[in-house]
């Protein structure tokens, strides 16, 4: 059970990747259609409807919760808006507090119209350069996406703390659903959980219409390990240390710092003395 002092926090923040798009099916679509206008395929529409049913089961605790509500954020791209419309079929109007188009959770910009063969070479170069810092010609790097997602998170926290997303914060269980893109979701998690650039490089996109549930733990921290299995976290590229941290967060007190995870200290220093007395070059009086 979540402590009463955290009742104003959303119970879940759910990241949803859009359904299968024409671009996922055929990369040549980007040569004639602007990225933001790429539509879902019939399969993508079916995936979105199925995802809506699954998300409703999750936010209602499989029918055991009565006072749940959802608030949607959606990327302005055609494929994410279509995904939202299909997901919305699973919810009644009284369950939806609101929806907001949010440009900062849009897809990574790859430039304008894409030349298919040229993009293949560019993506091969990205693998050699590093996926986080490589900037597409006339487009963005993942680092650029990180910056705008960081701005979105600041706005999100203001909305949460000012109770802008609640109708009745004393009784409603709020669930935020963010319908976005693969890389944007990875960057969102990276920012939220303070993952390093090196850790980001090993992450994988969720599948089309796969969703990732950050659930509020008993101590006020969010964790992927409350809803998801260790196998799922491994499939997304989380290391054993990252998975251990997610498990710790499930019951940790909000604001605590998990010093047991190696990247907090060990990833940045070759060796740290256990105490001041044992530090090299220091002597007592």
Query: Does 79 show up as a binding residue in the annotation?
Result: yes
**H/E element, 178:** strand 173-180
Query: Does 52 show up as a binding residue in the annotation?
Result: no
Catalytic residue (choose from 18, 166, 181, 228): 18
Query: Does 81 show up as a binding residue in the annotation?
Result: no
CB neighbours of 127 closer than 8 A, spacing ≥ 6? none
Query: Does 205 show up as a binding residue in the annotation?
Result: no
Angle at 156 between CA 185 and CA 220, to 5 degrees: 85
Query: Does 20 show up as a binding residue in the annotation?
Result: yes
Nearest Cα residue to 179 out of 97, 95, 70, 29:
70
| 107 belongs to the catalytic site | yes
**Are 18 and 47 in contact, with CB atoms under 8 Å apart?**
no
Tell me how far apart the alpha carbons of residues 190 and 204 are, in angstroms, rounded to a whole number.
12
Query: Does 22 show up as a binding residue in the annotation?
Result: yes
Tell me how far apart the alpha carbons of residues 248 and 242 are, in angstroms, rounded to a whole number.
10
**H/E element, 182:** helix 182-193
Query: Does 278 show up as a binding residue in the annotation?
Result: no
Query: Does 18 show up as a binding residue in the annotation?
Result: yes
| 18 belongs to the catalytic site | yes
Catalytic residue (choose from 78, 102, 107, 221): 107
From residue 149, alpha-carbon distances to 105, 133, 155, 261, 263 in Å are: 6, 15, 10, 25, 22
Q: Would you list which residues are annotated within the binding site for substrate?
A: 17-24, 79
Catalytic residue set: 18, 107
Q: Would you list which residues are annotated within the binding site?
A: 17-24, 79
């Amino acid at each position: 059970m979540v402590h009463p002092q955290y009742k104003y926090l959303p119970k879940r923040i759910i990241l949803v990747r859009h359904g299968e798009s024409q671009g996922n099916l055929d990369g040549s679509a980007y040569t004639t259609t602007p990225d933001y206008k790429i539509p879902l395929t019939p399969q993508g529409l079916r995936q979105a409807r199925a995802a809506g049913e699954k998300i409703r089961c999750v936010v209602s605790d499989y029918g055991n919760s009565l006072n749940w509500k959802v608030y949607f954020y959606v990327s302005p791209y055609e494929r994410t808006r279509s995904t939202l419309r299909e997901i919305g079929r699973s919810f009644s109007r009284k369950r939806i507090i609101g929806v907001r188009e949010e440009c900062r959770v849009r897809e990574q910009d790859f430039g304008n119209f894409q030349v298919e063969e040229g993009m293949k070479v560019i993506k091969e170069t990205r693998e050699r350069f590093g996926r986080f810092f490589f900037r597409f010609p006339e487009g963005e790097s993942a680092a650029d996406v990180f910056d705008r997602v960081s701005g979105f998170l600041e706005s999100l926290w203001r909305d949460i703390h000012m109770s802008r997303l609640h109708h009745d914060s004393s009784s409603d269980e709020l669930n935020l659903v963010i319908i976005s893109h693969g890389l944007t979701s990875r960057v969102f998690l990276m920012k939220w959980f303070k993952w390093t650039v090196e850790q980001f490089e090993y992450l994988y996109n969720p599948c089309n219409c796969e969703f990732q549930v950050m659930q509020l733990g008993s101590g006020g921290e969010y964790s992927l390990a409350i809803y998801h299995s260790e196998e799922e976290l491994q499939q997304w590229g989380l290391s054993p240390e990252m998975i251990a941290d997610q498990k710790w967060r499930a019951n940790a007190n909000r604001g605590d710092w998990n010093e047991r995870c190696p990247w907090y200290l060990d990833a940045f220093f070759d060796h740290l003395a256990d105490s001041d007395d044992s530090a090299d070059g220091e002597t007592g009086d």
